[in-house]
Structures are given as structure tokens and as C-alpha cells.
Amino acid sequence: MLNAAQREERRNWIGASDLARDATGLYGGTLAVLADKIHGSDWEGSPDTELGEWCEPHLLDWAQEQIGTAISGRQSLPIHPDASTHIRATLDGMVLDGTDYPPPVEAKYVGPGQLREWTDDEPSAYAIVQVNVQMDCLDAAHGYVVAFLHGIGKRLYKVPRDPDLCAALRDRARYLWNTYIEPRVMPEVTDIVSMTEAHALRLPRFGLMPGKTVALSPAHLMVADLLDLSGKAKYAEDRFHDGLNNLMKMALGDAEVGNLPDGTTLVRKEVQRTGYTAEPTIYVEMRRVKPRKRKDENNGE
């Protein structure tokens, strides 16, 4: 577990686990990340993190056997090549595959309460964000997550790098650093996109004016990109997606359509939800719509 000096040092950059907490809302989410960076933290770990640290070298040895290539660079700290992101990732290991872009390896102990977030084919959203940040630092095309799933056994996942996800995470890191961490300002609760409950408490009830359109800002374009990615890349849990959805509801107000600066539109849809025992309900979902290409554009004529 980290000592006091290491915890203090981590305040000087944004790590892969910081972006994973921000993206998924887990372990205190965005608010906890910013509090750690701005005010520091005296958290020394838990029995689960201690067990994870005990498992880590054994998992890395097993992953090395499965991959067939040596794993080194344990606990190295690669700095992101784009200094404006202030990203620095702590690696559990790297696969020495003979290239200049070694794949990172992330080791995890998965307790009983976290098993539902993992499948046989894919690690948790939290781990996907972490390893994508690590890949982005190393410019690697893929990475690995090796995990011991409580009561199930060991798993090794090969995770391809997601360029769209990495770009969104770089933007998010810059935003968090420039808006909150560098000026050392804690946000208002309503600024935290991953806190769905906070947004739900403050969200006014808007009617819907069919056909009404409003212009949205470049800031909303970033939120729309993250909203797309939260479903597409599966790196965000439901509460993060809902939080972004609520931000866009706030931006549209009672309008049905929002025009984004890149020419796409955000359309507010009321969807009928039916249940087995509950009465049918209607919920609002935001859907990104791109302009349709004309036939002559598609044919190159």
C-alpha cells in the first residue's frame, strides 16, 4: 500500500485509476478524485487492496506463462507524451515483446461484490479505462488485464486500445486539471457529471416543445462525445451515462433538438418502458444524430 510520501507525490499528476474513478463513479467518483488531488488523502488502503497487492506478483507470473513473454517494468511510471494532459500511469507490468510500444499489464483481485462487473470475455469498465490510459501513455496497440475472480479463478483478458476512448480521456484529464486541480478549487456538486443522484435532485421538470431547436456549445459537444462513448465503449457504468444524459436534458430544456457545433444534433426521445409488474413509464433518452450524406456524396459524383 502507498505510504504518505507516495500519496503526496500522486497529487502532482492524474493517474489511470483517477480517470477510472471519474469515468465509472466508483470509489467516490469524481468528487473523491478531486478531493485527493486538492486536499490530499490519508487513506492507507483496505483489506481488499492488501489482498490485491498480495495477489499481484502471483498473477503477473501466471500472465507471463500464459502470454509466453517476460513481464517487467513493475510499478514503473510512464508519463503521457502529451504533457498538457498531466497523465502519468502506474504500471503493474509491461510485456517485453521486443517493440518500442510494450503492452501494459494490469493485475486485479476481484472480490465477491465486484464479480457482476466482469464476464468471461471482458474485464470491468473500471479496468478497461485503466488499461486504455496505460496504453495511451505507452502508445501500445493492446494491453492485458489479469485477474483473480473470487470463487472462480484466474482470467487473462487481451484488451485492444480504443482510440476514441483514449481521446475522450485525454480531454477529460485536461478539463479536470485546468478547471479544478491546478487552481485548487473544488467543484459545485452539480458540476460532477458522474453523480447521478445529485443531478436528479436538481433537475427541473421540462415540458417538450415539438420542433423547437436550441444551439449547444462546444462544451456540450464534449459531453455528447462522452455520452456516445459511455454506451459504445462500455467504460462507464449506468450512473455515469445517466449523469451525462441529465446534463444534456439541462442544456436542451424544453427543446426537442439541440444543434452541436460539429453539425450533429442531439434529439430528445421519450421512450415507453414497460415492466412485468410495474405500470408502464416514460423516460427521456438523448440520441446523437449525424447529418445524412446525399446520394451523390456517397457515390463520389
CATH assignment at residue 120: 3.90.320.10
Q: For residue range 188-237, list pLDDT tens digits in order.
A: 654 554 444 333 333 344 566 788 888 887 767 767 776 676 555 544 45
- 74-78, 116-120, 180-184: lowest mean pLDDT where? 74-78
Domain presence at residue 174: no
Provide the pairing of β-strand 255-259 with 71-72: unpaired
Tell me the residue range of the domain where 194 lies: 189-298
Residue 85 lies in a domain: yes
200 and 85 share a domain?
no
Give the end of a domain, one of 103, 134, 167.
167
Distance of CA 186 to the CA centre of its chain: 20
Regarding whether 242 and 132 lie in a shared domain, the answer is: no
If asked whether residues 193 and 124 sit together in one domain, one would say no
H runs (alpha helix) in the chain: 4-9, 16-24, 29-39, 47-67, 125-138, 163-176, 196-202, 218-232, 238-252, 295-298
- Same domain for 201 and 150, yes or no, is no
Domain boundary among 133, 167, 201: 167
Q: Is residue 57 part of a domain?
A: yes
pLDDT in tens, 53-66: 888 999 999 999 99
- Do 16 and 159 lie in one domain? The reply is yes
Q: In the numeric block, which cell numbers belong to residue 42?
A: 490519508
Q: Residue 288's beta-bridge partner residues?
A: 266
Are 145 and 212 part of one and the same domain? no
Mark whether 9 and 143 lie in a shared domain: yes
Domain count within the chain = 2
Give the highest mean pLDDT range of 69-78, 108-117, 278-287. 108-117
156 shares a domain with 29? yes
Is residue 177 a part of any domain in this protein? no
Cα(19)–Cα(40) distance, rounded to whole angstroms? 17
Indicate if 294 and 160 belong to the same structural domain. no
In this prediction the pTM is 0.63
